[in-house]
Amino acid sequence: DSCPNTHWDLERNTTEWSVYIKVLVRAGNEITSLMLEALQLTRSNATSFDPYGLFIMYNNPQNYFNGNAPHNVTGCINSCVHTMSSTKVPCTIANGTVADSFLRYDGLHPSQQSDRIVAWAVTAVVIGEDNRWTTFELSLSHLQISR
């Protein structure tokens, strides 16, 4: 299973936890899609973005990560491995451009490079480009943005 970390230092079945989260995310995405279909919105009214689907980065890291270290989808930038009884442990932190080689920042959060990829995909939708992670395009022509 997994080692205890900063976010969770109790025993757990990591496979069971991972599958459970995957099911919740996919169920949420499906509910969102069904609700949007039921509203019968046009393509310019709403968009459904699937960031979970975007994390195919895991399977093809060479297409997404450009750090100065080998691509790393199993480790993390800020690695702090706890024991069941520990309260403080030393951490290993990847700095500089090496950090752009990682999928995850820590045991819970995506890395800065992963965030950039998600931001790129969302921006593509907002400016009207096709994107395989969205269901509808979003048109901003009818919105007024005030500061």
pLDDT tens string 21-53:
889 988 987 887 788 777 766 555 566 677 777
Query: What angle is formed at CA 71 by the lines to CA 95 and CA 89, rounded to 5 degrees?
Result: 45
Residue 97 — pLDDT band, cuts 50, 70, 90?
A: very high
Neighbours of 68 (CB within 10 A): 11
How many Cβ atoms from other residues are within 10 Å of residue 147's Cβ? 2
Exposed e or buried b for every residue in 97-123, given b needs 16+ CB within 10 A? Answer: eebbbbbbbbbeebbebbeebbeebbe
Dihedral (CA of 69, 70, 71, 72) sign: negative
Read off the pTM. Answer: 0.69
